[in-house]
Structure 1
Amino acid sequence: MRCTLGVDVGTSSTKGVLTASDGTILATATRAHDVSRPRTGWVEMDAAIWWDEFASIARELIAAHPDAEISAVGVSGMGPSILLADENDEPVRPAILYGVDTRATAQIERITADLGVDEITRVGGSVLTSQAGGPKIAWIAEEEPDAWARARRLFMPASWLARKLTGAYVLDHQSASQVSPLYDIENERWHAPFWGRYATAIVQPRLAWAGDIAGTVTAQASEITGIPAGTPVITGTIDAWTEAVSVGAHEVGDLMLMYGTTMFLVATGEETLRTPSMWTTAGAFPGTRNLAGGLSTSGALTAWLADLTDADYPQLLAEAEASGAGARGLLVLPYFAGERTPIQDPDARGVIAGLTLEHTRGDLYRAALEATALGVRHNVETMRAAGADIRRIVAVGGGTQGRLWLQVVSDVTGLVQEVPATTIGASYGAAFLAAVATADEPPLITEWNPVTDTITPNDDLRATYDTLFDRYVRLYSATADVVHELAADQRGATGSTTTASTPASEES
Structure 2
Amino acid sequence: MTPRVSRSALAGLDIGSSRIKCVVCDPAGTVLAAAERSTPLGARDADALATAGLNALAEAVAASGRHPDAVGLTGMAETGVPLDRHGAQTGPLLAWADPRGTTEAGRLVRDTGAAALHAATGVRPSAKATLAKWCWLRAHLPHALDAMHVWCGAADLLALALTGRVATDATFAQRTMAYDVHRGRWDTDLAGLAGVRTDRLPPVRPPGEPVGPLTDEAARRVPGLRAGTPVVVAGHDHPVGAWAAGVRTAGAVADSMGTAEAVLTLTDDPPDSARTLAEGMGYGRSADGRHWYVLAGTGSCGALVEWYVDLVGLPLGAERHQALGVLLEAAGPGPTGVLVEPYLSGRSAPEPDPERRVALHRLGPEDGPARLALAVVEATAYQARWMTETQRVLTGGGRPREVTLLGGPVAQPRWPRVKAAVAPWRTRVLAEHRAPAVGAALLAARAAGPLADEPLPVHEATASPQEDPDGYDRLYREAFLPLVRRPTADTPPGSRP
Normalised by the length of structure 2, the TM-score is 0.86
Choose which of 291, 295, 313 in structure 2 pairs with 1:292: 295
Residue equivalent to 1:194: 190
* Correspondences of 1:314-353 after superposition (within 5 Å): 314-324=322-332, 328-353=336-361
Structure 1 pair 394–482 and aligned structure 2 pair: CA distance change class (3 A): same
Question: Hey, what's the Cα distance between the residues in 2 that align with 1:470 and 1:103?
Answer: 40
By relative contact order (CA 8 Å, sep 6+), the higher-ranking structure is 1
Within 5 A, what are the aligned runs for 1:88-127?
Answer: 88-98=86-96, 100-127=97-124
Note the 1:425-440 alignment, pairs <5 A. Answer: 425-439=435-449
- Is 2:135 the partner of 1:138? yes
Aligned to 1:310: 313
Asked whether 1:23 is paired with 2:29, we answer: yes
- What is the number of residues matched between the two proteins? 472
The Cα of 1:168 is off from its aligned counterpart by 2.1
**SS of equivalent residue, structure 1 residue 70:** coil
Whether the aligned pair in 2 keeps the contact of 1:129 and 1:344 (CA below 8 Å) is no
Shift of 1:470: 4.7
8 Å contact 2:85–2:149 — kept in the other structure?
yes
Determine helix, strand or coil for the equivalent of 1:8.
strand
Mapping 1:310-459, distance limit 5 Å: 310-311=313-314, 312-324=320-332, 328-389=336-397, 390-420=400-430, 422-439=432-449, 441-446=450-455, 449-455=456-462
Write the distance in 2 (CA, Å) between the matches of 1:480 and 1:294. 21
1:267/1:55 CA distance change after superposition, 3 Å: same
The residue identity in structure 1 corresponding to 2:438 is: Y
TM-aligned CA deviation for residue 155 of structure 1 = 2.2
Q: CA deviation at 1:325?
A: 5.8
Letter of the 1:256 partner, please give it. Answer: A
Partner of 2:489: 481
- How far apart are residue 316 of structure 1 and its match? 2.7
Question: Which deviates more from structure 2 when the two are superposed, residues 148-157 or residues 217-226?
Answer: 148-157
Contact 1:397 1:423 (C-alpha < 8 Å) held by counterparts: yes
Alignment root-mean-square deviation, CA: 2.8
Name the amino acid aligned to 2:377: L
Contact 2:138–2:145 at 8 Å: present in 1 too? Answer: yes
- Which residue identity lines up with residue 104 of structure 1 in the other structure? G
Instruction: Judge conservation of contact 1:85–1:151 (CA < 8 Å) in 2.
Output: yes
Unaligned runs of 5+ in 2: 1-6, 315-319, 493-497
Displacement of 1:243: 0.7
Worse overlay, 451-460 or 14-23:
451-460
Give yes or no for contact 1:131–1:340 (8 Å, CA) kept in 2.
no
Per the TM alignment, residue 28 of structure 1 is displaced from its structure 2 partner at its CA by 1.1
Question: What is the CA distance between 1:405 and its match in structure 2?
Answer: 0.9
The TM-score, its normalising length taken from structure 1, stands at: 0.84
> C-alpha separation between the residues in 1 aligned to 2:462 and 2:206?
33
**Matches of 1:257 and 1:472 in 2, distance apart?**
20
CA contact (8 A) 1:130 1:340 kept: no
Q: Distance between the aligned counterparts of 1:154 and 1:18, measured in 2?
A: 29
Find the counterpart in structure 2 of residue 4 from structure 1. Answer: 10
Q: Is contact 1:166-1:214 (8 Å) kept?
A: yes
Structure 1: stretches of 5+ with no match in the other structure: 37-43, 485-508
Residues 79-88 or 211-220, more deviating:
79-88
Shift of 1:201: 4.9
Amino acid across the alignment from 1:367: A
Contact 2:145 2:196 in 1 (8 A): no
Match of 1:60 in 2: 59
CA contact (8 A) 2:340 2:375 kept: yes
The change in CA–CA distance for 1:6 and 1:462 in structure 2 (over 3 A counts) is same
Structure 2 vs 1, CA of residues 326 and 26 (structure 1 numbering), >3 Å: closer, same or farther?
Answer: closer
Q: 1:185 matched to which residue of 2?
A: 181
Q: CA deviation at 1:108?
A: 2.4
Residue of structure 2 equivalent to 1:495: none
1:313-337 CA distances to partner (integer Å, 9 max, x unpaired)?
3333333344356664422222214
* C-alpha separation in 1, matches of 2:285 and 2:332: 40
Q: Report the counterpart of residue 13 of structure 1 in structure 2.
A: 19
Go from structure 1 to structure 2 and tell me whether the alpha carbon gap of 1:315 and 1:140 turns closer, same or farther (over 3 Å shift).
same
Change (3 A) 1:6 1:465: same
Shift of 1:373: 1.1
